[in-house]
């Protein structure tokens, strides 16, 4: 049996790299990490100690779907205030899950669904 140890990275397609970098880097505070010189544009971020987010610029349709990435924040109320202050539409929430964790859903500038949570 294969034994998965952990997530390594999540790759998402974006159309506008600069707007996406503003969202993930400036608004959400993710730290840029080195990216190899692939033959397409993109940008990489470290997310916590063990996972990375890879933005890939491709000309493909970004579907309206429930598929999403979830990012845990240190201060949920501050995240809600900052998202609203920046005009980011909150699609669902803020709310509490059955286990008491906070959550909300929004979209990045290219329409990728993003969950913001605090456990």
Q: Summarize pLDDT for 43-79 with one digit per residue, the tens.
A: 999 999 999 999 999 999 988 899 999 999 999 999 9
Using the predicted structure, report yes or no on whether residue 117 has a pLDDT greater than 90: yes
pLDDT-derived band at 116 (thresholds 50, 70, 90) equals: very high
Share of the chain above pLDDT 70, in %: 100
What pTM value is reported for the model?
0.93
CA 80 to chain centre: 15
On whether residue 83 sits in a domain, the answer given is: yes
Task: Output the average pLDDT for the chain.
Answer: 96
Which domain range does residue 46 map to?
A: 9-118
The number of beta carbons lying within 10 Å of the beta carbon of residue 105 is 19
Mean pLDDT of 33-51: 96
On whether residue 68 sits in a domain, the answer given is: yes
Q: What is the CATH number of the domain that holds 112?
A: 3.10.180.10
């Amino acid at each position: 049996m294969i034994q998965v140890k952990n997530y390594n990275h999540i790759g998402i397609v974006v159309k506008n790299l600069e707007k996406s970098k503003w969202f993930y880097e400036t608004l959400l505070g993710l730290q840029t990490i080195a990216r190899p010189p692939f033959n397409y544009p993109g940008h990489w971020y470290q997310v916590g100690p063990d996972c990375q987010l890879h933005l890939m610029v491709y000309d493909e349709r970004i579907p309206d779907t429930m598929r999403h990435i979830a990012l845990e924040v240190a201060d949920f109320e501050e995240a809600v205030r900052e998202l609203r202050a920046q005009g980011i539409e909150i699609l669902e929430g803020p709310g509490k899950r059955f286990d008491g964790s906070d959550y909300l859903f929004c979209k990045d500038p290219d329409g990728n669904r993003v969950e913001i949570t605090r456990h």
